[in-house]
């Protein structure tokens, strides 16, 4: 997400007030365009074979006919009507029923330049007549021409066809018809015959690419005259319920911050959080090593929410739903009951089956369709197959979307190693609550590293997983208790703020890791915060110089600026005695 995108999506051009728009019915696209396609004007949708052009056009017509009281005309130069009927049924559109109800008129125009020889001047008045008849037959407000390339290829004199095509666009505008024209993408231009030069109102590019043996569909709004719009590429899905576009939502600073609390499902953990649990609609990160109890803690949260009558979604990338149900039954949690009642839906996908964007789009679609109050993602680290930086961006986008929807979300993540507590994706700085689980020496511990807006227990607490669930909030006794308290008091929570991959930033990261390993091994939490990716944190955390190292624990908060090349000054600034490890 760029700062430009944030601005365009928040501040609309004043001219846009005078541009009427026609809703597409495509989830996500109307959000990107500020309401839909330009009404009573033409839009070009171009892309390669199989990119989704015909589906786009069909969805536009079906939505207009069924939901907007705007009948339509589908004029095909490529597929026959019976083929369109069959293909559209698989996506939930019954075109034959729409025709029977006089909500849609369809016409297939067969063109073969070998069937008719050119002997002089000609025009396409016959096309105009057929289109006019179809429009009048249903009182159409929307028109689709699919695909225009066949029209150009069907006649030997391209110059005449170009002139007639421009006349056709003028006719459509004069008759106040909102039109979608599909075209194959050219090698050096958006369309094969350069028709985008005639269509100046809106141009949308669809792309279906394969990278690393994984396919991804993307949409880009190339231009939209007189209207603000999203400028990035946006992933989209094609499924049994049509087309779903995943917009990159801006960070909404003005959204509500509820005071309502929700139980964690573990009484001991609730007590550690002022006796009330998480804030409703907050983002919670639970990180820990394998076997530390992350999924069990999430299962308690789901069980508690379902018991309150709420709907929950679980996205799993490691365990299948059946494995999850079986494993949680061993600690006294029966998730199958909530699934049978329709309160819990478990979605499972292999990380390598599809791209990160496609995973994220699928999760958005499930959230929109099921409308849950709580969501669990287990684990975030499964997204690393697409690269750490991209996975981090995807995770932050998902967290922002769920928060903007008022959904309480638990994100489970691995720790990078046993010695340090920073997470694989480095998203803790953007979370409201961060819980770290450890399983060492036959014992489990739980520590709340942070929880914004509330007082919480700072010291690590003993945790055990029994046949009746998780017990925590009880410190070990005797010498073990003293050891745990001492370790908790000496735990260092460090945030290093940098600007991208500059030499100074990389030196600061390297120096900090070396200093921590030499003097704080096993007793620190380190988070790298890239302000180029999260510029709002510069304001939220009052950061001026870069790099800046902030010690948040133990109190008081301390700041150090520079590349951390002077070990003595860094240790003094952090109140660390050299060789204290």
The CATH number for 378's domain is: 3.40.50.300
If asked whether residues 356 and 450 sit together in one domain, one would say: yes
Is residue 343 a part of any domain in this protein?
yes
If asked whether residues 334 and 210 sit together in one domain, one would say: no
* Of 437, 472, 489, the domain-final residue: 489
Return the structure tokens found at 497. Answer: 């703020």
Helices marked H in 72-116 — which ranges?
A: 81-89, 95-100
If asked whether residues 301 and 436 sit together in one domain, one would say: yes
36: left (phi over 0), alpha (psi -120 to 50) or beta: left
**Structure confidence at residue 132 (pLDDT):** 93
pLDDT in tens, 376-399: 998 887 777 666 777 787 788 888
Q: How far apart are CA 546 and CA 542, in angstroms?
A: 12
If asked whether residues 140 and 276 sit together in one domain, one would say: no
If asked whether residues 35 and 83 sit together in one domain, one would say: yes
If asked whether residues 398 and 467 sit together in one domain, one would say: yes
pTM for the predicted model, two decimal places? 0.64
If asked whether residues 380 and 480 sit together in one domain, one would say: yes
**Structure confidence at residue 198 (pLDDT):** 63
Is residue 65 a part of any domain in this protein?
yes
**Structure confidence at residue 251 (pLDDT):** 46
If asked whether residues 539 and 462 sit together in one domain, one would say: no
Is residue 161 a part of any domain in this protein?
yes
Which of 423, 347, 332, 334 lies closest to 378 in space, CA to CA?
Answer: 347
Distance spanning both ends of the chain, measured CA to CA: 42
**366 lies in which domain range?**
261-489
* Count of CB atoms situated within 10 Å of the CB of 62: 24
Q: How far apart are CA 42 and CA 201, in angstroms?
A: 6
Sites in the chain below the pLDDT cut of 50 = 1-16, 116, 119-120, 250-251, 253, 417-422, 477-489, 580-581
pLDDT in tens, 361-380: 888 889 988 999 999 998 88
32: left (phi over 0), alpha (psi -120 to 50) or beta: alpha
Q: How far apart are CA 49 and CA 545, in angstroms?
A: 50
Q: How far apart are CA 118 and CA 406, in angstroms?
A: 64
Q: How far apart are CA 470 and CA 418, in angstroms?
A: 22
Is residue 251 a part of any domain in this protein?
no
Q: How far apart are CA 74 and CA 52, in angstroms?
A: 16
Total number of domains in the chain: 3
Is residue 252 a part of any domain in this protein?
no
Q: How far apart are CA 61 and CA 358, in angstroms?
A: 25
**Structure confidence at residue 301 (pLDDT):** 96
**Structure confidence at residue 51 (pLDDT):** 87
**Structure confidence at residue 244 (pLDDT):** 79
If asked whether residues 64 and 184 sit together in one domain, one would say: yes
pLDDT in tens, 283-342: 999 998 878 899 999 999 999 999 999 999 999 988 888 999 999 999 999 999 999 999
- Using CA atoms, how far residue 545 sits from 20, 59, 147, 497, in Å, is 46, 51, 55, 9
If asked whether residues 410 and 389 sit together in one domain, one would say: yes
């Amino acid at each position: 997400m760029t700062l430009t995108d944030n601005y365009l999506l928040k501040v609309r051009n004043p001219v846009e007030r005078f541009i009427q728009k026609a809703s597409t019915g495509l989830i996500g696209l109307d959000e990107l365009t500020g309401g839909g396609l330009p009404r009573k004007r033409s839009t070009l949708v171009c892309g390669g074979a199989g990119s989704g052009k015909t589906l786009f056009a069909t969805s536009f017509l079906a939505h207009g006919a069924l939901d907007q009281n705007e009948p339509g005309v589908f004029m095909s130069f490529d597929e026959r009507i019976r083929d369109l009927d069959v293909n559209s049924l698989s996506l939930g559109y019954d075109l034959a029923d729409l025709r029977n109800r006089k909500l849609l008129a369809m016409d297939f125009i067969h063109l073969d330049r070998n069937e008719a020889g050119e002997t002089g001047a000609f025009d396409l008045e016959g096309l105009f007549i057929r289109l006019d008849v179809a429009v009048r037959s249903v009182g159409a407000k929307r028109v689709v021409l699919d695909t225009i390339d066949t029209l150009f290829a069907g006649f030997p004199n391209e110059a005449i066809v170009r002139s007639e095509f421009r006349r056709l666009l003028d006719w459509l505008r004069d008759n106040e018809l909102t039109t979608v024209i599909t075209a194959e993408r050219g090698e050096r231009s958006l369309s094969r015959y350069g028709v985008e030069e005639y269509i100046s109102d809106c141009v949308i590019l669809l792309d279906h690419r394969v990278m690393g043996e994984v396919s991804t569909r993307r949409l880009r709004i190339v231009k939209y005259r007189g209207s603000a719009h999203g400028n990035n590429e946006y992933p989209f899905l094609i499924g049994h319920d049509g087309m779903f576009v995943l917009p990159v939502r801006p960070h909404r600073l003005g959204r509500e911050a509820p005071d309502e609390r929700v139980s964690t499902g573990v009484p001991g953990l609730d007590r550690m959080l002022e006796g009330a649990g998480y804030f409703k609609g907050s983002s919670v990160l639970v990180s820990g090593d394998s076997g530390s109890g992350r999924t069990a803690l999430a299962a308690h949260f789901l069980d508690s929410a379902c018991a309150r009558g709420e709907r929950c979604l679980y996205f799993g990338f490691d365990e299948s739903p059946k494995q999850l149900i079986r494993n949680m039954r061993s600690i006294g949690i029966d998730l199958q009951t909530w699934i049978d009642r329709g309160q819990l839906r478990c979605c499972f996908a292999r990380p390598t089956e599809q791209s990160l964007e496609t995973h994220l789009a699928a999760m958005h679609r499930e959230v929109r369709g099921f409308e849950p109050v709580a969501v669990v993602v287990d684990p975030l680290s499964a997204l690393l197959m697409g690269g750490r930086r991209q996975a981090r961006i995807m995770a932050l986008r998902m967290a922002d979307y769920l928060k903007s929807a008022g959904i309480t979300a638990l994100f489970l993540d691995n720790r990078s190693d046993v010695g340090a507590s920073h997470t694989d994706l480095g998203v803790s700085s953007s979370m409201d609550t961060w819980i770290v689980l450890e399983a060492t020496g036959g014992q489990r511990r739980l520590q709340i590293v942070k929880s914004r807006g509330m007082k919480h227990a700072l010291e690590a607490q003993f945790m055990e997983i029994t046949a009746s669930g998780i017990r925590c909030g009880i410190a070990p006794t005797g010498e073990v208790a003293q050891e745990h308290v001492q370790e908790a008091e000496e735990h260092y929570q460090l945030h290093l703020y940098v600007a991208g991959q500059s030499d100074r930033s990389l030196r600061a990261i390297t120096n900090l890791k070396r200093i921590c390993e030499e003097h704080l091994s096993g007793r620190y939490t380190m988070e790298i915060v890239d302000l180029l990716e999260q510029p709002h944190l510069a304001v939220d955390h009052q950061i001026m110089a870069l790099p800046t190292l902030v010690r948040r624990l133990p109190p008081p908060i301390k700041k150090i600026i520079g590349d951390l090349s002077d070990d003595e000054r860094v240790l003094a600034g952090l109140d660390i005695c050299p060789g204290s490890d």
